[in-house]
Amino acid sequence: MHSSASPADPNRCERAYVGNTIGQANAVSDKVLDLRFCKLAGANLRGKTLSGALIADADLSGANLQEAVFTKAYAVGANLKGADLTNAVVDRMIFDKADLEGAKLVNTVITGTSFEGTNLKDANFEDALIGNEDAKRLCANPTLVGESRLQVGCRN
């Protein structure tokens, strides 16, 4: 029997500091990591496994997410403005309508991820490992301009 965190759980946002510890590769856990609407601006979540996490509408602006693992995470509408995802794993994640303005995705592995309607202004993709389909999706985003487009490898 799976139990799921509810927004009424007063400690659910604190679970971000622990992350998921069971079945990391497939985003399977004993509990849903429910971080929806959590205020985690500037949080130090370095190296945390946030696989399968519900991060929709959460505030992770300026957060340290270096080396974090986001397999099958759902971050629609999340604020990651200025967040540091250096060396993170972003796999099969949904960043639709999220704000990644000025986010650092340096040396980040990006596979099977959706960025529809995402603000990518001034995002840093230096040395990121981006799959071909992901690069196509990123290059189709009108907010990916200037240096960011070159880093992703957009042709135009």
Q: What pTM was estimated for this model as a whole? A: 0.87
pLDDT digits (tens, 9 = 90+) for 62-97: 999 999 999 999 999 999 999 999 999 999 999 999
User: Helix (H, G, I), strand (E, B), or coil: what is residue 100?
Assistant: coil
| CATH code at position 122 | 2.160.20
Q: Which residues contact 72 (CB under 8 A, 6 or more apart)?
A: 26, 27, 51, 52, 91, 92, 93
**Domain span holding position 98:** 1-156
pLDDT tens column, 28-61: 445 678 999 999 999 999 999 999 999 999 999 9
Contact by Cβ (8 Å): 69, 45: no
Model confidence pLDDT, tens digit, residues 92-118: 999 999 999 999 999 999 999 999 999
- pLDDT for the residue 18: 79
Domain count, the chain: 1
Question: Using CA atoms in the order 20, 47, 115, 35, what is the torsion angle rounded to 10 degrees?
Answer: 40
DSSP category for residue 135: H
